[in-house]
Every structure is written in C-alpha cells, then in structure tokens.
Structure 1
Amino acid sequence: MSQSLSPGDLFHTSFGKRGFIRRSALNLLCLPRRSLQSSCGRKPKPPVILLRCAHISQISQSSSLEVLQIDGGRPLRGELQISGSKNAALALMAASILAQGPVMLTRVPSLADISSMCAVLRSVGASAELSGTDLCVDASQLSSVQPAAIAVRALRAGFLVLGPLLARAGEAEVALPGGCDIGSRPIDLHIEGLRAMGAEVAVLSDRVRASGRLTGTAVELAFPSVGATECLMMTACLADGETTIRNAAREPEVVALAGLLARMGGKISGAGTGTITVRGVAELSGAIYEVPPDRIEAGTFAIAAACVPGSELLLAPVDPDHMRPA
C-alpha cells in the first residue's frame, strides 16, 4: 500500500542505505515493488518512486499527466550542461539599470523568471533582448521610475530594481515583491539600508516610494540577507562617498554582482566576505559579463549521482568553490 511521506521520513534504497526525503513542490509517494524485509536474505528490488505533481503544466503540456513514475536503482551516466545561475542573472539584470550603455549578459538561463524580469526592465524604458543564452539590456534611456506592478509581483527579484532606480534617477516607486513564498523574507533590511544612506522611504500598502540624494555610510545588516546586500551594493555605486556593508551575504551570487559592477566601473572590495566596501562614482558604463553556473542545479545532479552506486556524471561548467559548504 502506498504511503505519503512527510519531511524527514526515512526510506530504504536498493543498496541498503537510508536517506532523508524532504517535501518540496512535489508530493512524494514511495511504492516498494516487494517488501524491503526479505526472509530469504535476498537484496530487495529498487523501489518505484511516484512524484505527484503540484503544477503539471510546468512539466508537460498533456493535461492527462498526473504522475511521474521513476524506477530507481539504475546508474546515472553521461554528460550534463549546467545552466547559468538564475538567481545571479536576475541581480545582474537589475544592475543593468545603473549603466549608461548596453549590458550584455551571456549564459543566461531560459526561464520564466528571466522573461518576467525582462518585462520589469522594459516597463521603465529599457530594452531587453534575449537571443539564445545572450541577453542585451540597454537602460541608457529610462522613461519611468515606476515599473509595472504586475511585472514586479511576478517574481521576488523584481523588487531589486528599487535601489538601482533610486541611485540612477533620484527616485523610485516599486510594488511590493511577489514570487515564491519561502519563509518571511522581509524587505525591512533594504528599507533600513536606504534610509541610512539618506533616502526618504515611504512603505505604502502595496508599494514602496523612495527619493533623495544618497550619501555613503556604514550599514550593518541584522542578518546576512542576499537581497539586501545586493540592493545596497548597487545603490552605493552611484552614492556620494564610501559605503560599508557589514554582516554582508557571502554567496557566489553576491560575488558575481560585484564582478559586473566592477566591470561597469564600480569601485567594490570585499565581496565574498562579511564586509563589503563600495566607493561611489559619477556614472557606470555598459559591459559584457558571463553569468556563473548554477550551483543548485549542479549540486542536484551531483547528489543524484552520489545516491546511486555505479553512477558517473560529467557536469560542466561548474565552479568548485561554489560547491563547497560555507
């Protein structure tokens, strides 16, 4: 009989190990082909794993598909091309608002969130043209400081344009963020940091309005938020003076953003550590930058290969430094 497993439940695989199942967007059902307890001492056959999909339309165009059946126990072999990091790409796209010329991003993944962020950029007058895995954003002629609310609410990262618009135009009005619901993930650290830099920020029922001349200062984050770190890094690039961000996030996506900002002419040091220093400049120029490989995608395939004896996968490109525990 099938049994629905909750987070942390244990299951036995065909090679006698035990692992943890964690529920994500899929409901997991484990249906052993025969009892895992064999009175004859024979090794049990691999279980059949059924993934009951919460969002079938994202997996198949066939409305009749309800379950994906995965027969386990087969070694995984071959070569896999790792996509560019979505989380890094979204922050890089927001940073393109700061540039007075075109920003070309390469190895951009083809995902719905990328299309949504393109819509956010276009709604403020920027051009955003995606050709294969190359994305060219030209925000040299901004026409608005209020991106379309429906576009911003389509993804969490849409709110990242608040800081760049404020730094570039002196004002911005951005809808409260949407996207996935992972914990609380509040925006208060963004707001506190911008206010510390001299901005007047009003948090309304459905949007945030910010304006004012920005001056470098020291900001200490209550916790190392990636979004807040990225917001303040981008904003500080065009602020007067020097900004120091303490207890900053150290994730590879933050390092990638610092790399693009430096390529555009920004003065940044300390990315990847707990303290980031940004010296403001008069303007930033266009640049070409490669999105780093997606460490989450690479890690997912690496774990899958490690779980099945005899597997051998070649994953490329992968940055080994991004795969090590912090």
Structure 2
Amino acid sequence: MDKFLIKGGKALRGSVAVSGAKNSALPVMAAALLTSDKVVVRNVPRVRDLVTMSKLLAFMDAKVTVAAVPASVYEIEAPRLNHAEAPYELVKTMRASILTLGPLMARAGVARVSLPGGCAIGARPVDLHLKALEQMGAEIATSHGYIEAKVHGNS
C-alpha cells in the first residue's frame, strides 16, 4: 500500500488522548533514583513492567506511591538507598533492570544488577550501558549472572 485516499468533505474535529509509553516511563522511573527529591511521573501506561519497576525501586528503599491500582501516576521518593542491587527474583521478567545501573552508580558508587530477563524476541545487548559507564570511569565485571559495577577506586 503506497497511500491512503480519504474522501469525506468534512473537517475533522475532536481530541485524542495519547497514552504513555512503557519504554519512556521505565527510564524516567529509574532516573528517579538520581535524586532524593520527590519525582512525579504521569501518564504511565498500565503494564506489568511498570509495576515490576516500582517493586524494584521499593526494594532499594525508594518510596513509591500510587493513588490507584493499576496506576497511571507514580510518586517516587528515594532520600536514601539501602540496596544498590537489582536481584534476579525481582527483575527476571523485564529487561529494564539495566536502567537502574547508572543511577545506582551515581548515588551509591556501586551497583549489582542481575543480567536482564524479559521476553525472548532476540538479542538486545546491554553493552552500550556498560561502555558508557566505563567511559565515565566505572569498573564493570560480570559474575554469577550479575553485572557488578563500581566507581574506580571504590570497594
């Protein structure tokens, strides 16, 4: 099909509500780990990966507040992080766990993130994340299914 031909003669009027995108909301939620201030994320689509990400942030001791379930608005506060880790049990169903690696490194100086799980739609390497962190001075290693990263010189 090369084109659509629409006949009608009437002007279009009205509005369309555009829903949020999972692949936009997940990085924003992970980025909320960068600050101790409250972050409000609106127009969040109601999909399982966003619930999983909120559980992961809560595991790290961020306070995740929603007004409804399923939620379209998330309030995230991370005044401190008690776990700089994304364990396999929490992230085995989504690939977005890698998005927490950079924010954890920035806040804690170290991070331990399970190799991403998710669906089997083919190879989707995370090497760009790792290369970027290395270029900023991080030491990266993989061990027992985890990516371990630390700021150069931190133990």
Q: Aligned partners of 1:206, 1:146: CA distance in 2, in Å?
A: 13
Q: Aligned partners of 2:148, 2:62: CA distance in 1, in Å?
A: 20
> Superposed, which structure 2 residues align to 1:161-200 within 5 Å?
161-200=100-139
1:153 and 2:89 aligned: no
Deviations 1:245-279 (A, max 9, x none): xxxxxxxxxxxxxxxxxxxxxxxxxxxxxxxxxxx
Alignment match, 1:137: 76
Alignment match, 2:150: 211
Q: Aligned partners of 1:91, 1:178: CA distance in 2, in Å?
A: 16
Where has structure 1 moved over 6 Å in runs of 4 or more? Answer: none
Q: Aligned partners of 1:211, 1:205: CA distance in 2, in Å?
A: 17
Alignment match, 1:85: 21
- State the 1:179 CA deviation: 1.0
Alignment match, 2:31: 95
RMSD over aligned Cα atoms:
2.0
Higher helix proportion (structure 1 or 2) = 2
Alignment match, 2:8: none
Alignment match, 1:119: 55
Gaps of 5+ in 1: 1-16, 18-77, 215-326
Q: Aligned partners of 2:73, 2:40: CA distance in 1, in Å?
A: 7
Q: Aligned partners of 2:151, 2:51: CA distance in 1, in Å?
A: 31
Q: Aligned partners of 1:180, 1:130: CA distance in 2, in Å?
A: 26
Amino acid at match of 1:164: P
Alignment match, 2:11: none
Higher strand proportion (structure 1 or 2) = 1
Say whether the 8 Å CA contact 2:93–2:119 is kept in structure 1.
no
Gaps of 5+ in 2: 2-13
Q: Aligned partners of 1:92, 1:133: CA distance in 2, in Å?
A: 14
Q: Aligned partners of 1:155, 1:139: CA distance in 2, in Å?
A: 22
- Rg larger for: 1
Structure-1-length-normalised TM-score = 0.40
Structure-2-length-normalised TM-score = 0.81
Deviations 1:110-167 (A, max 9, x none): 1111101001101111111122421101111211111232112221112210111011
Alignment match, 1:315: none
- State the 1:182 CA deviation: 2.7
Say whether the 8 Å CA contact 2:140–2:148 is kept in structure 1.
yes
Q: Aligned partners of 1:189, 1:80: CA distance in 2, in Å?
A: 36
- State the 1:183 CA deviation: 2.3
1:202 and 2:141 aligned: yes
Q: Aligned partners of 2:73, 2:79: CA distance in 1, in Å?
A: 19
